[in-house]
Structure 1
């Protein structure tokens, strides 16, 4: 790096002389169709399908309705993703919902989205996945008892640091990791589904034949069942966080969605069918890890294979979350809603290294509390509020931005349906079980307005005087530069 330029405060890339250095200092388009599908499938299939069936059954009360909720969640995820396909090909920017909310509703709502996602939702999700992975890794070493919390948290922190390092060093390496672990998790799902088909062929249909007898009709319980099912489907919007790195996004974005999400939906329904061929509803509700119980009954003495592949599955999901979260932080820095340093790119590896390291640091902080699952549960309503606002943004821009080219155009009724379902998912748990935690979460989100007014809307010269020297030293340390605009 040209130290003279950095020391003078001119944050520019140095002159290029080699073939590699002739690349513009921007995120490179290295994500093809296979990697895009792997990103969707690999992020969606995490630990959810191995844990959530119990919660979905609790909310529905019967096998038939439970399977219906899993299928409906797949349809809803597909409809939402189709709306995102139109938005992603219309506004080809990375950052997920952020650029769409900015374009439709302005910078204040865009900042509140960043504030909620970057500070809470994304790093805490990363932390939860890492903790799940650490628990599965540590359990075999502590037979007959639970692993110590310190061991689990230390392992989780190590996973977070390793995954953040891989993503900081190479986009291509991160894609290889994603492709490998996606193949691994599809393999174990294939094993579970085939086992279930064999049991069905042997006549084990007594649990499935009960249909929806005894189903719950509670407004809130059905909403909570959908929450848990949709948590397992979460990640369907993953490609919109990395649009700028997709090869041929106008083709590969919608095509990846149409391949990846239906594939996951079929897998989820078939896996649940397999569970119910082996376990009664009562047995499933008593199991702390449904997939492990299934393996103990069907695959013994090879039952250890399932926990191993659940570890692979969680690592793949964590890698996908890390990859996408870094792009959101990068875009927020580029737009001025975070410090500009977050938008800097590694001069050697062409990755948003500062953003990735920052997200990893926050995820490690979220490992420290005793229970962060409660935090995520109460912030889930905010996540579905974001999905609903994004679908509403599509409807709004049909009228306010008719000039924009739309390579993909979904019927407006689809966006309207997503908005309505999102409203239901936001309101149902609050109406059924109103608690102060929802008020706390809302207060936290709205507190972003104070941050926006103090540090974003009114830019103070003192902040430049303080951040300038710090940014210079961080640039020298990490060898990063501001992104260039493509010609």
Structure 2
């Protein structure tokens, strides 16, 4: 019998906090604030939205911490759905996640990163889409290579970029405090004037804000590589999400201290506009900082996204080759390569704003299903070992929020695109029956698996307990 490999538990509490905070603090806080303000209409209401988004991420993270200890395996929502609501729904998630959610998310962050990378070279004009997408493709390929080579290197990059972006955000916060002490508080006069209270406006504002918080569930995708997950998972979540929420609020206050609401709404990248106003000739530093921040976020996205594909393959819901790891480096390189290829395809027609809305719509459908699974476990299987537990009211509250976020954009202003997204999710069930349940074309897949296994130097992986 061939000797099987297992992923190493190399991620400690500092690494876990860095992955969570580093994945959350990406391009969003440098781009989304103007869209939150534009959607909700007033500075005061925008700060409330940012606070509520942080609270939602925190409550969702705590619920996921319980799921991560009750069902101690990598794969996040996929493995939780598999154990609670069944194989078909779990496959629908992984089908949507692998083909749409994670590649689209990675593409959006890569495009933002590329925009900041090339900004200093196009100070007087707008770069072409071809240049932007070529740079984004290069960034995707670079990070894919890094994650294929070494877990330790990817973790190191995450820690370093998290420290860099923390320093930059402190600079923005301190700059805002100085501006406030100098009397620049006009943006907060009549702070709630112009607030839009429509269901759709609130929902879209949440989408834009929660895009910046995306990554709160990162560690649930790689629980098998986390040291002492029953202790480190909830601790890392609480610390990281609390710090990120406080930081986002202070950064938004700083933006509003430097810019008027109108200037903020019309800015293409608020951090760059802030840098030009406060730092003058040194404003280019903000472009570099935002690029590094997005780079770190994309690194965390690749690290966690490849693991979902990997776990799904191990459960028989994706080709076997995607469940294997490199025999020397112990990284799930086939799953990472597959995710990279899909991301490059998605990059071709990529549009940032559509990415945010449709990603959020799809994600919160599955977050809601996952939380329903937690409620089911609490009611039907109360005797399961729970190293960490939350009151049942928490998943109920987050489930209500998830339901609102799914329905809000289509209540006031229904768009046909949301129907297409829903039909695509449901199509996962159609794919499941012939190709997963009845395993059509097994001979062809077996030959391809053997060839790729030899070519990529990979082998099957045992599950960590």
Give the TM-score range, shorter chain. Answer: over 0.9
- Name the structure 1 match of 2:10: 30
Q: Does 1:397 align with 2:361?
A: no
1:304-345 CA deviation, whole Å, 9 max, x = no partner? 111000000010000000000010000000000001110001
- Name the structure 2 match of 1:467: 445
Q: What pairs up with 1:241-256 in 2 under 5 angstroms?
A: 241-256=221-236
1:258-291 CA deviation, whole Å, 9 max, x = no partner? 1100000000000000011111111111211111
- Name the structure 2 match of 1:413: 393
- Name the structure 2 match of 1:232: 212
- Name the structure 2 match of 1:304: 284
Deviation at 1:362, TM superposition (A): 0.6
CA–CA distance in structure 2, aligned partners of residues 243 and 363 of structure 1: 24
Distance 1:370 1:31, change over 3 A: closer
- Name the structure 2 match of 1:324: 304
Contact 1:121-1:376 within 8 A present in 2 as well: no
Q: What pairs up with 1:368-447 in 2 under 5 angstroms?
A: 368-369=348-349, 371=351, 373-447=353-427
Deviation at 1:180, TM superposition (A): 0.5
Moved segments of 4+, more than 3 Å: none
**Which residue, 226, 234, 240 being the options, matches 1:260?**
240
Contact 1:366-1:372 within 8 A present in 2 as well: no
CA–CA distance in structure 1, aligned partners of residues 285 and 58 of structure 2: 31
**Rg: which structure is higher?**
1
1:418-446 CA deviation, whole Å, 9 max, x = no partner? 01011111101111111111111111111
- Other structure's SS at 1:92 match: coil
Distance 1:373 1:281, change over 3 A: closer
CA–CA distance in structure 2, aligned partners of residues 382 and 286 of structure 1: 28
**Which residue, 447, 454, 461 being the options, matches 1:476?**
454
TM-score norm. by structure 1 comes to 0.93
Between the two proteins, the alignment pairs up a number of residues equal to 465
Deviation at 1:125, TM superposition (A): 1.0
- Name the structure 1 match of 2:270: 290
Q: Does 1:74 align with 2:51?
A: no
1:366-402 CA deviation, whole Å, 9 max, x = no partner? 1111536425422421211111111111100112322
Q: Which deviates more, 306-315 or 277-286?
A: 277-286
- Other structure's SS at 1:481 match: strand
Deviation at 1:160, TM superposition (A): 0.8
Q: Which deviates more, 266-275 or 465-474?
A: 465-474
Q: Which deviates more, 433-442 or 369-378?
A: 369-378
CA RMSD after TM alignment: 1.3
CA–CA distance in structure 2, aligned partners of residues 486 and 446 of structure 1: 32
- Name the structure 2 match of 1:20: none
**Which residue, 142, 145, 152 being the options, matches 1:162?**
142
- Name the structure 2 match of 1:3: none
Deviation at 1:403, TM superposition (A): 3.1
- Name the structure 1 match of 2:92: 112
Contact 2:108-2:350 within 8 A present in 1 as well: no
- Name the structure 1 match of 2:429: 449
CA–CA distance in structure 1, aligned partners of residues 462 and 54 of structure 2: 39
- Other structure's SS at 1:407 match: coil
1:110-150 CA deviation, whole Å, 9 max, x = no partner? 00000111110101111111111112112222332112222
Long gaps (5+) in structure 1: 1-9, 14-23
- Other structure's SS at 1:338 match: coil
Long gaps (5+) in structure 2: none
